Amino acid sequence: MTSSAASLVPVNMDLGVLLTALLLLAAAVAGWFRLDPHPHKSRALEILVAGLRAAVQLALVSVVVAWAVRSLPGLLAFLCLMYGVAVRTAGRRLTSNGTWWLAAAPIAAGVVPVVTALLLTGLVPLKGIALIPVTGILIGGALTVTVLAGRRALDELSQRHGEVEAAMALGFADRDARMEIARPAASDALLPGLDQTRTVGLVTLPGAFVGMLLAGAGPVLAGAVQLFVLIALMAVQSVAVAVTLELVARHLLYRPLPDAQTASPHKTKRLNAHWRRAAPVSRGD
C-alpha cells in the first residue's frame, strides 16, 4: 500500500471495530424503524448478511484478482463470473418466476458494446489490471439501473393494470399500452447517474478520481479518467434501461399477477377485441 493510501484508510484494529459498529448501526436503524418490505422479510438481517458477505467476498476476490491479472483465461473467467452474478442478482430482484434470466439482456446490451469499443480503440488494454475495474464499474451501473427500471416498470403495471386494459380496449397494441404506463416510471432509473454526473467535483469525488490521485496521478489525468467513467456509465445505463423497458413492455420479463389479474396476454387481447366489437361507437356530426 502506498503511503497516501495508508494515510487515508489505515488497515488496523480500529478500522475493524469502526466497520463493525457502523454495520450494527445500520441494522439497528433498519430494525428500529421497521424498514422491511413486508412482515416476513427483515431488512436488518439483510444488512448484516450483506456486510459479512462483502467482507468475505472482498477477501476472496483479492486473491482471485491477483491471479486473474496475470492470466488471460483467468481474466475472462473472472469477467464471466462478474456478469453471471450481476444477472442473477438483477433477475431475482425483478421477479421470482422463470423470466429472471432475461436480465442478462439489458446488462450485456449496455456493457458489451462499450467495453468492445474501449478495447478496439486501445483506450483500455486487454490486461486484467485495467479491464477488471473498468468492466466491473460498467456492469455494476447496468445492474443498478436494470433493477431500478424493471422494478419501477413492473410495479407501475401492477398498480395501473386497469389503465393498461383500457388502453388495449381503445385499440393500443399490448406492447404499446404497457409502454405508455411503464416508460415514465422506468426512466427514473437514470436519475442517480444523471445527478452523480451533474454534481461530480462539487458534491462528491467519485472512486475513480480518488483512486487515481492515491496512485500518484495528477489531478488533470484523474479528472479525465473520472469523466470517461461517468460518460461511459451514462451510455451503458441508457441502453440497459431501454432494453429492460422493452422486455417488460413485451411481457417477456414479468411477475406473476394476483388472481384478479392472471388472464394471459392472449386472453386479455381476445377479451378487448370482443369489447371493441360490442361497444357502441360514438361519432360527432
Taking residues 32-46, what's their average pLDDT? 90
Least confident of 34-38, 173-177, 210-214, 236-240: 210-214
Residue 68, pLDDT above cutoff 90: no
Which pLDDT band, with edges at 50, 70 and 90, does 256 fall under?
Answer: confident
Cβ distance 269 to 174 under 8 Å? yes
Write down the pLDDT at residue 64.
80
Average pLDDT, the chain: 85
Q: Which residues contact 54 (CB under 8 A, 6 or more apart)?
A: none
Where would I find the H helices in the chain?
A: 3-8, 13-32, 43-68, 72-94, 104-121, 128-159, 161-169, 174-187, 191-199, 207-214, 219-249, 265-278
Residue 16, pLDDT above cutoff 60: yes
Write down the pLDDT at residue 280.
43
C-alpha cell at 37: 418490505
Write down the pLDDT at residue 144.
97
C-alpha cell at 162: 386497469
Helix axes 128-159, 43-68, angle to 10 degrees: 150
Cα atoms in the 13 Å half-sphere on the side-chain side of 243: 21
Residues 57 and 245: their CA atoms lie apart, in Å, by 31
Which pLDDT band, with edges at 50, 70 and 90, does 271 fall under?
Answer: very low
Least confident of 38-42, 98-102, 136-140: 38-42
Write down the pLDDT at residue 245.
97
Write down the pLDDT at residue 8.
59
Query: Alpha-carbon torsion 122, 123, 128, 129, what sign?
Result: positive
| Rg value, the chain, Cα | 23
For residue 88, give the amino acid letter: R
Which pLDDT band, with edges at 50, 70 and 90, does 265 fall under?
Answer: low
Greater pLDDT, 40 or 120 = 120
Residue 160, pLDDT above cutoff 80: yes
For residue 150, give the amino acid letter: G
Cβ distance 121 to 82 under 8 Å? no
Which pLDDT band, with edges at 50, 70 and 90, does 262 fall under?
Answer: very low
Taking residues 66-88, what's their average pLDDT? 89
Write down the pLDDT at residue 191.
95
Q: How long is the chain? A: 285
Write down the pLDDT at residue 258.
57
Taking residues 47-75, what's their average pLDDT? 87
Cβ distance 121 to 94 under 8 Å? no
Greater pLDDT, 8 or 81 = 81
Residue 50, pLDDT above cutoff 90: yes
Would you list the domain boundaries of the chain?
A: 9-68, 72-277
Give the end-to-end CA distance of the chain in Å, rounded to a whole number: 82
Write down the pLDDT at residue 221.
80
Q: What confidence tens digit (pLDDT) does each residue in 204-253 have?
A: 777 767 666 666 667 788 788 888 889 999 999 999 999 999 999 999 99
Q: What is the residue-wise DSSP string for 77-107?
A: HHHHHHHHHHHHHHHHHH-SSTTGGGGHHHH
Task: Read off φ and ψ for residue 5, nearest 5 degrees.
Answer: -70, -40
Write down the pLDDT at residue 129.
82
Place of cell 464499474: 137
Cβ distance 106 to 241 under 8 Å? yes
